[in-house]
Every structure is written in structure tokens, then in C-alpha cells.
Amino acid sequence: MNPKDKIIVTGASGFIGGWLVETLYLNGHANVRAGIRSWASGARLGRFPLEITLCNVLDKKQITEALRGVTHVIHCASGSPEVIIQGTANMLDAAQKIGVKRFVHLSTAEVYGNPRGEIDENFPFQYTGNAYGDSKIEAEKLCWKYSAEGLPITIIRPSIVYGPFSKEWTIRFAQSLQSGNWGIFKGYGEGTCNIVYISDLVEGILMAIQNEQATGQAFNFNGPDLVTWNQYLQGFNSALGFSKLRIINPASAKIRASIMTPIRTSAKFVLYHFKSPLQKISQRYKHAKKLMKSVEKSLKTTPRLEELGLFNRKAVYLKTKAEHLLGYKPKYDLDKGLELSVKWLEHIGLINSKS
């Protein structure tokens, strides 16, 4: 890339966006601008002397200001269906007006639905009723519309991304393993865990933004290992230094997940409407506080029904196109990725794995 090129990363306070901004900056690309939704979310990026700007993707005025002087956009902002769909539409419209050299859109392998077998980029979209995956399909359709109109677009479809700062696949999984509520999910955990370490994904995205052949293309990004979800959980548990995982039979896993579904719904309702009085009760009564923490822990660390479905999905997201066209070659195997993830978890005090 030209040193004068100006890159903005939307959703820069998030897991992937934050990694992209930091990697660009640390690799000497000073012309990177971090677009965040609110100043309160800028603490992580505030460690570096780089440019941070407000860029709520639902605010067209903010977008216009944030894209001033920008030549490349890496669109990582995510959230509600409105943020994913309308936010993407707003970003595409603004990028088209200023004539950016490239618009990289971060999508997801979830646009393929619940497939089986080997899945390449030509596999059709599949709606599942899942708000996130279905919204990403709509956002991609917008991207392809603008691509047909001449906007140089590249779409990235990562699989399961883990590593430091990952709330879902690293922090929550570590806490779930530590809770004792998780184990080897017999009958459910034998699906393929398409896991990719964050550094490999970031390198792939940066390869795509610099390669002219990537214009008008979509790419799957996956890691070097093909393991089952049970193997991932066993490897993670071992890296954390926890006791050997127990085997959880299919009926037990499904019953527990089913029981927790209405409880989660009720808990969200109660928390939304009665958060203040509940906080006062927990502050006044130690037993109530202990009970609330116990319930919260169970809710967070019990697998959801849709999660069990994911663990049983036997699909492989092929990265062949990225390998051939971009020269993508993931460097972090599962052992190395988990080792680095655990070191980070220990460093920030979320897990005391050796105790």
C-alpha cells in the first residue's frame, strides 16, 4: 500500500477491529484511523498514539466526518440487525461518494447457514432465523449491489475467531470450562471446529486489502487445524491446567440447555425492568448477592441449544481460494493459539489456571 493511503477501521473498539488497528499501527502504517461508536469504548486503543474518531455507523454525519481523507475502509462494526444492515448501507453510500480505493467488509461464515461437508465461497446463502447470520446476509447483498455499481469491494468470511480480547470464544469458553458445567459433549461435540487465531485472520485481511485481484471477491478464512469441538475444549482445558473434563451425555446436555432457555429469557426481562432494586437487595443481603451470582454463573456457563447445534455441525469452510489468490497461510496451530490465549487470560487476571 502507498504510505499516503488513509485506512479507517470501523468497530475499532471490538475484538477484530481492535486487532486490525493495533497491527497496522505497530507495523508502521501510521495513517490508520480507528472508528469507534463512543469515547467510552476507546480505552484499549488509547494505549497507542493513533488517531481515534467517533464513527457510529447509524449516524451519517459522523460517518462523513470520519471518512474525510480516507482511501481504504475496513468495515468491522457489528451489533444489532439495524447496525449490521443499515450501518453497512450507510458506510457503503459514504464510501462510494468519496471514491475509496477499497472497501473491505467483515462478514461471517454464518451466511452459509447450517451446512454439511466442504463449503467454499460459491456456496449459497442460507437463512436460518438467527438474527446475526441473517443480518450478515442482508449486509452482504448490499455490498454486492454496490460492487456491481463499481465500488471496489472485498468480503471476508471468517470462521470461529479466537485469541486475546475474544469475549465469546476465549473468555466465555475459559470461564465455562472453569465453572465445571462444561465437559466432553458426547454426541454433540463431534462437529468440526473451524477455528482461526486472530493474528492469522488479521494477516489475511491485510493481504486482501493490498491485492488488486481481491476486488469483487469473497474469501473464507480458517485456521491450519481441523479439529472437533470436543478436541478444542480438551485442548483449551489442558492449556488452562484444569482437571480432566467429564463426559456429558447427550440427553443431559440437551435437558440442561432446554431448561436454561426460558430462564435466560426471564432473567433478561427481570434485569431490564428491575435492575436498580435488585442491586440494592444484593448490596444489603449477602445471601441474596451470593444467590444472584450463582444464577448468573449458571446462565453464562451452560451451553445454549443453538450452541450444541454448532458443536455438532460437520462442515469445513475451505480456505483454498485465499491460499491461492492471496498467498494466505495460517501460522498459528491450535496449541500455539491456545498457549497465547491462556497467557493473556492470566495476564489480565481473568483466569488463575494453575491454582
- Count how many domains the chain has: 2
Closest to 210 (Cα-Cα) out of 3, 22, 67 = 3
* Torsion on CA atoms 88, 89, 91, 92, rounded to nearest 10: 110
Residue 20 confidence (pLDDT): 97
Does 253 fall in a domain? yes
d(CA 204, CA 207): 5
Residue 101 is part of which domain span?
Answer: 7-158
Instruction: Report strand pairing: 192-193 vs 227-228.
Output: antiparallel
Predicted confidence band of residue 355 (pLDDT cuts 50, 70, 90): very low
Query: Is the same domain home to 187 and 114?
Result: no
Among 106-115, 181-190, 255-264, 340-349, the minimum mean pLDDT is found in 255-264
Residue 47 confidence (pLDDT): 87
Does 218 fall in a domain? no
Average pLDDT over residues 222-247: 95
Query: Is the same domain home to 19 and 144?
Result: yes
Residue 44 confidence (pLDDT): 87
Residue 109: CATH number of its domain: 3.40.50.720
Residue 298 confidence (pLDDT): 54
Does 202 fall in a domain? no
Tell me the three cell numbers of residue 311. 458443536
Residue that finishes a domain, picked among 109, 135, 158? 158
Does 208 fall in a domain? no
Residue 273 confidence (pLDDT): 52
Query: Is the same domain home to 183 and 279?
Result: yes
Average pLDDT over residues 218-231: 96
- Residue 253 has a CB neighbour count (10 Å cut-off) of 23
Angle at 208 between CA 154 and CA 66, to 5 degrees: 65
Query: Is the same domain home to 119 and 65?
Result: yes
d(CA 292, CA 93): 46
Reduce the DSSP state of residue 251 to 3 states and report it.
helix
pLDDT digits (tens, 9 = 90+) for 63-114: 999 999 999 999 999 999 999 999 999 999 999 999 999 999 999 999 999 9
Query: Is the same domain home to 141 and 54?
Result: yes
**Which residue, chain included where needed, has cell 432457555?**
261
Average pLDDT over residues 339-355: 85
Query: Is the same domain home to 171 and 296?
Result: yes
Does 327 fall in a domain? no
Residue 46 confidence (pLDDT): 85
Tell me the three cell numbers of residue 27. 507495523
Query: Is the same domain home to 133 and 47?
Result: yes
Average pLDDT over residues 292-317: 74
Average pLDDT over residues 255-261: 63
d(CA 277, CA 194): 43
Query: Is the same domain home to 262 and 347?
Result: yes
Predicted confidence band of residue 4 (pLDDT cuts 50, 70, 90): confident
Q: Residue 263: is its pLDDT beyond 60?
A: no
